[in-house]
Amino acid sequence: MKLEIKQNILLEHLNYVIRGISNKNIIPVLNCIKFELDETGLYLMSTDNEIAIKTFIDKDDIENIDKCGTIVVSGRFIYDIVKKLPNEIITIEEVVDNKIFITTTNSSFNLNCNNPEEFPVLDLGNHKSPICIPKRVFKNIIKQVAFATSTQESRPVLTGLNFKIEGTRLECTGTDSYRLAKTSIEIETSVEETINIIIPTKNLNELIKMFSDEDGNIELHIFNNKVIFKFNTIIMLSRLINGTYPDTSKLIPTEFMLAMKVDMNHFYNSIDRASLLTNEADKNTIKLESNNNSIVVSSNIPEIGYVEEKLSVQKNNQEEIKIAFSSKYMIDALRALESQEVELLFNGEVKPIIIRNPENENLIQLILPIRTY
Q: Is 67 exposed, middle or buried (0-12, 13-18, 19+ CB in 10 A)?
A: exposed
Nearest CB to its own copies, comparing residues 23 and 106: 106
φ and ψ at residue 268, rounded to 5 degrees: -60, -50
Among the listed residues 48, 171, 309, 343, the single contact to its own copies using CB under 8 A? 309
Q: Is 248 exposed, middle or buried (0-12, 13-18, 19+ CB in 10 A)?
A: middle
DSSP result, 161-205? EEEEEETTEEEEEEE-SSEEEEEEEE-SS--SS-EEEEEEHHHHH
> Where in 65-84 is the site for its own copies (CB under 8 A)?
74, 77, 80-81, 84
> Where in 267-296 is the site for its own copies (CB under 8 A)?
269-270, 272-273, 276-277
| CA separation for the pair 57, 10 (Å, rounded) | 8
**Using rule CB under 8 A, residue 358 touches its own copies:** no
- According to DSSP, the residues that pair with 260 across neighbouring strands are 315, 344
| Shortest Å, Cβ 259 to its own copies | 22
| Shortest Å, Cβ 270 to its own copies | 7
> Where in 186-225 is the site for its own copies (CB under 8 A)?
none
| Shortest Å, Cβ 346 to its own copies | 22
| Shortest Å, Cβ 321 to its own copies | 19
Nearest CB to its own copies, comparing residues 35 and 256: 35
| CA separation for the pair 271, 355 (Å, rounded) | 14
Nearest to 187 by CA among 113, 120, 129, 233: 129
> Where in 85-124 is the site for its own copies (CB under 8 A)?
85-86, 99, 106-112
Nearest CB to its own copies, comparing residues 115 and 189: 115
- For the chain, the residue count is 373
| Shortest Å, Cβ 130 to its own copies | 40
| Shortest Å, Cβ 355 to its own copies | 20
Nearest CB to its own copies, comparing residues 209 and 310: 310
Give the CB-side neighbour count of residue 263, counting CA atoms within 13 A.
9
Among the listed residues 17, 262, 311, 342, the single contact to its own copies using CB under 8 A? 311
Cβ–Cβ contacts within 10 Å for residue 35, how many? 25
| Shortest Å, Cβ 305 to its own copies | 4
φ and ψ at residue 247, rounded to 5 degrees: -80, 105
**Using rule CB under 8 A, residue 342 touches its own copies:** no
| CA separation for the pair 327, 312 (Å, rounded) | 19
**Binding positions for its own copies, rule: CB under 8 A:** 74, 77, 80-81, 84-86, 99, 106-112, 266, 269-270, 272-273, 276-277, 303-311
